[in-house]
Structures are given as C-alpha cells and as structure tokens.
Amino acid sequence: MRTYGRLIREALPYWKIAALAMLSMAATAAMEPLLPALMAPLIDESLIDKDPSALIQIPLLIVAVFVFKGISEYVASVSSQYVANRTVADIRSEVFAVQLDLPMVDHDAEEGGRLLSRITYDVAQVGEAVSTAWMVIIKDTLMIIGLLAFLIYTSWQMSLALLIAAPVVSFVVKKASVKMRRSNQDLQTWTGRLTGLIEESLLAVKDIKIFGGHDNQQARFEHINKRLRHEQMRVIKIQSLNVPLVQILAAITIGVVILIGTQMSARDLLSPGEFVAYITAMGMIFDPVRRLTGVNATIQRGLAAAESIYQIFDQTLDNQRGQSRNHEALQRASLDVKDVTFRYPNAEELALDSVSFTVNPGESVALVGPSGSGKSSLIALIAGFLEPQDGDIRINQESLKDWPLAKRRRQLSLVGQQVNLFDATIADNIRFGWPEATDEEVQDAARQAHALEFIEALPEGFDTQIGPFGNRLSGGQRQRIAIARAFIKDAPILLLDEPTSALDHKSREEVLKGLENLKANRTTLIISHQPETLLSIDRTIHLIAGQLAPVTTDLDSSVDTD
C-alpha cells in the first residue's frame, strides 16, 4: 500500500485534470447500464406490444446514449493520459536526478546496467501501469458497480449466482498478484544484468576484438538471455493462466444464471424483455471483469518497478546541486591529510593506513608509488567520492566533515587519465566547468590549455559537435578540452590523476604545456608513473601499500615505471 500511496502523490500536482478524468469515467460508466435497460422496453413494448411511440423513442435514446458515452470516453482518455504522461515524465526526471546524486560508493555497488535499466525499463513499466491501469481500474470498476446494480434491480434471484462467484474470482486474482509481483522482480533483475552486459561489451568492443573475446562474451550473453527468457515465460504463464481461470468461473456462473432465468420466465416472474436485458447486462459485465483481471499483470509489473525506483529515492544522496552558483571558490587553499585510514567494503587489507601530509597554498606535490598503493583512493577521498573510516581531510585548516559536498567540490578541479566529455559542442564541454562563462572566457581557457589552435582549425570551431564521449577528437585533444574545463572552473586545488599516461609523445608535450599553465598559483596534487610529468614539482610523496614511505629527492628512483 505504501508504494500505491507514493505513486498517487506523484500525480497530486495534476489533481484538477485527474478529477476531470474521473468525472468523465463516471459519466461513461453511468451510460453502461442504460443500454441493457433499454433492451426490456425495446422487446416488450416495441416488438411484442407494437407500441408506435416506443418504436421511435427507444432507437433515439440508444443513439443519444452512444453519443454521450463517446464524448465522455474521449475526455476521459485524453485527460487521464495527460496526467499519466506528466507523472511518468516527472518520475523519469527524478530518477535521473537521483542517480546523478547517488554517492559513488552506491554507484560502484550497483550491479552492472541496473542504474541504466531503472530509467529505460523500470520507468517504462511504471508508465504503462499508470497510463493504462488507473483508467481501467476506475472506469471498469464503476461499470461493474453500475451493471451489478442493474442486475440486482432486475432480478436479485439470478444475481445471487454472481455474488457467490465474486469472492472466488477475487481469491484467484489475489493469488496470481503475489506470484506476478515476485516474478516481475526477478525479471527486472535479469533485465538489468543484460543491459549491463550489453553496455559493457559495446564500450569494450576494441578489447573484445583484439583479444578474441567474442565467444566468451557471447556465452555470457546467451546465459543471461536464457535466464531472462525463462523469467519472461514464468510471467507469461502466470498471466495466461489467470484469465482462463476467471473465464471458466464466468462460464459456470452464466450457465447457472440462464438456468434460473428460464425457470423464472416459465413462471411469468420475468418478462422476455427483462430476461434479454439481464443476459445483455451480464454479458457486458464480463468485459470489464476480464480487463480488470488482465490489467493485474501490468499493475504488478509497475509496482515491482516502482519499488525498485523508490529504493534509490530513499538512499542518502550527495545532494550537491548548484555547486558552481551557491559557493565561492577560495583564492588560495592549503590541503591537509591527517591520519587518514580507509578500507574498501568487503576488503581485508587497508587501502590507506594513517596517511598524513600537507600541501601548502600554490605548492605542487607529486604522489608516487606502485599500482595498488592507494594513490587513486586518496584522490577519491579528497574529492568526496569516498569517506575515510578514520582521520580527517582539511582545506585551509577547516575540516571537510563540516562542509557541504558542494562547497568542498567547488574548491577542486580534477583532470584524470580517462576524460569524460559529452555529446555537445566544444564550447559546451569547456563551459561545463562554469555554465555562466562568457565566450571570451571560454576562448581564453582554450588558449591557456593549448587547445585554441586545433579548435580554430575545425570547420565549426567552438561549435563543433564532438560526439558521444568526445569520440570525434583525439586523446590529446580530449585531454586539452578537460584542462580548459578546469581553467574555467578556476578552483584553487588541482588534482591530476595520470593525466598523460595514455597519450603519445607529441600529444603529451601539448598537454603538459596546458597543465603547466593550469598548475600556476594552484595547490596541486599529481599522481603519475611517468617522470616527465613531474618536472616542475616542489615535493614528492611516496605511498607503498597504503602507507607513506621515506622521502627521497631522486625522482627517478621514486617513480614506479612498470
């Protein structure tokens, strides 16, 4: 019921349109019992008694009923779909916003593709449930109530059979609902795994080709695809069994009703017109009953998807919205790491063990050590992607525990080995570091990053669309765009995580020029395995197995070049 309530609250902003939809549904439902009600005088008065006025009035009334019903159905359909589509769009936007604000530890803990499938699959299932199910439930329930009232009014004796069958049908539907929801939760899990594998494989297609991993990935895909098909068939079997069971119960009920009706008609307790009207209404009632039982599968899929969505809504978020606008960057900043200890979840060894050091304002410090020594973990802790189990990180002697994440991240720029650019223009990607930046500021940032020359050589210059992940640019060009983005942000602390390790010599030279400009007057912490990127540093800090090693002034001996 809690999930139901939360979904209803999502639609509350559109309650006026929803009220119009429900009034229109009620009007449509009210027309339903009028049609069988007109059958009795049509047969008894028009056909049997040959009443001339009835021969004219009843057909006109039937036409009027259908016209009014058609208008109300149109209004109900359009208004209900409007509410449903707006609600689903709001949920989709909220899911996207929440997933951007999830802490990195939650992103890393999610099974591959599950975050993506929440937007692509789960929201679609909620959308189908909201757009279709609520109209069916409200309109068809009102139709059933109206037709039942007519049936009881016409003959309470025959209606007893319907009232006895109703609890049995309700029991069958309830049992099917429980199984349906469990099956749909399993279906969502395997859909997420398949989405994750597809995403992973497409991103790593070069590695698959070069290492001949086609068969391995295909085997993984076939395994997950088979399990997904198995879960889909479970849902289909439950759904397919539900409707025939209800129809069999309905057929038995119809047989009993006809038997009672013929006996009553033989004793003149029921006129031919009333009998036909009753059978007509009873035939009409089974369509909404069938739709209600059929829509149950859609509802259960939607509720299972909604539960998955609300799970992430209930998690603690980074909540760093508006970081560029709400917090000012410091002019100068020192960085202090005090006795920081960190262990990854489920790991036996400490990634960092009581690490302490200080980077003074404007100082450049190299952080070196073998792979797995904790360098990148330390960068993640400073950036607030992870939180230490012990110790403290400070900026200008102020503990970051007391700062909002937005304020912390306003003081930091990060340029890493893997540059993430967006499917937009070059100007938009540079301006990503500061959305309010002017065109002149964007050009100046590109100049400082040694990117202006190649940008102006492009036919559309700063308006060039760079494609998904910036794949229309070379590695060195992407890296210089990232440096320009850091220039625009103008944060006092700069974190460099292997920024040139994936580049060739020529590209590295251009990127290094941009990095030298970027480092000027900034507090800089550099991770690198390559000595040539450490030429203009003030100090070197060594990390080995998560601990600080003795300081040395010989750079070549301090750097792991494996």
Give the domain CATH number at 336. 3.40.50.300
Do 403 and 428 lie in one domain? The reply is yes
Do 201 and 267 lie in one domain? The reply is yes
Do 372 and 259 lie in one domain? The reply is no
User: Which stretches of 204-271 are DSSP H helices?
Assistant: 205-210, 214-266
Q: Which domain holds residue 524?
A: 324-558
The average confidence (pLDDT) of the chain is 82
Tell me how crowded residue 334 is: count the other CB atoms within 10 A of its CB: 19
Whole-angstrom distance between the N-terminal and C-terminal Cα of the chain? 58
Number of separate domains in the chain: 2
> pLDDT band at 113, cuts 50/70/90?
low
- Domain assignment present for 365: yes
Residue 28 and residue 71: Cα distance in Å, rounded?
Answer: 9
Distances (CA, A) of 484 to 218, 379, 478, 524: 41, 20, 10, 16
Do 300 and 355 lie in one domain? The reply is no
> Region 456-478: what's the mean pLDDT?
90
- Domain assignment present for 284: yes
| Chain segment 146-176, per-residue pLDDT in tens | 998 998 888 888 888 777 777 777 677 667 7
> Region 336-349: what's the mean pLDDT?
90
> pLDDT band at 502, cuts 50/70/90?
low
Do 135 and 248 lie in one domain? The reply is yes
Pull the structure tokens for residue 346.
Answer: 């489920």
Distances (CA, A) of 487 to 59, 441, 449: 79, 9, 8
Do 171 and 278 lie in one domain? The reply is yes
pLDDT of residue 325: 43
- Domain assignment present for 298: yes
- Domain assignment present for 319: no
Domain stops at, among 287, 313, 339: 313
| Chain segment 511-525, per-residue pLDDT in tens | 888 888 888 889 999
- Domain assignment present for 162: yes
pLDDT at 136 > cutoff 80: yes
Q: Which helix (H) or strand (E) holds 485?
A: helix 475-489
Do 34 and 172 lie in one domain? The reply is yes
- Domain assignment present for 116: yes
Residue 416 and residue 428: Cα distance in Å, rounded?
Answer: 19
Q: What backbone torsions phi and psi does residue 55 show, to the nearest 5 degrees?
A: -65, -25
- Domain assignment present for 15: yes
Domain stops at, among 261, 292, 313: 313
For 460-558, strand residue ranges (E) read: 493-497, 523-527, 539-544, 547-548
Pull the structure tokens for residue 27.
Answer: 């009007």
Residue 132 and residue 408: Cα distance in Å, rounded?
Answer: 46
pLDDT at 1 > cutoff 80: no
Q: Are the C-beta atoms of residues 536 and 362 closer than 8 Å to each other?
A: no
Look at the block and give the residue holding tokens 């279709």. Answer: 132
Do 369 and 278 lie in one domain? The reply is no
Do 371 and 497 lie in one domain? The reply is yes
> Region 219-234: what's the mean pLDDT?
87
Q: What angle do CA 247, 251, 254 make, to 5 degrees?
A: 135
Handedness of CA 513, 514, 517, 521 (dihedral sign): negative
Residue 521 and residue 519: Cα distance in Å, rounded?
Answer: 6
Do 283 and 337 lie in one domain? The reply is no
Q: Are the C-beta atoms of residues 355 and 546 closer than 8 Å to each other?
A: yes
pLDDT of residue 558: 40
Find the CATH number of the domain harbouring 50.
1.20.1560.10
Do 341 and 304 lie in one domain? The reply is no
- Domain assignment present for 295: yes
Do 493 and 387 lie in one domain? The reply is yes
> Region 122-151: what's the mean pLDDT?
86
pTM recorded for the entire structure: 0.71
> Region 5-17: what's the mean pLDDT?
87
Q: Helix or strand or coil: residue 317?
A: coil
Percent of the chain with pLDDT over 70: 89
Q: Which long-range contacts (CB under 8 A, 24 or more apart) does 141-145 make?
A: 141/288, 141/292, 142/25, 142/26, 142/28, 142/29, 142/30, 143/28, 143/29, 143/32, 143/284, 143/285, 143/288, 144/285, 144/288, 144/289, 144/292, 145/29
pLDDT at 308 > cutoff 70: yes
Domain stops at, among 262, 289, 313: 313
Q: Are the C-beta atoms of residues 121 and 44 closer than 8 Å to each other?
A: no
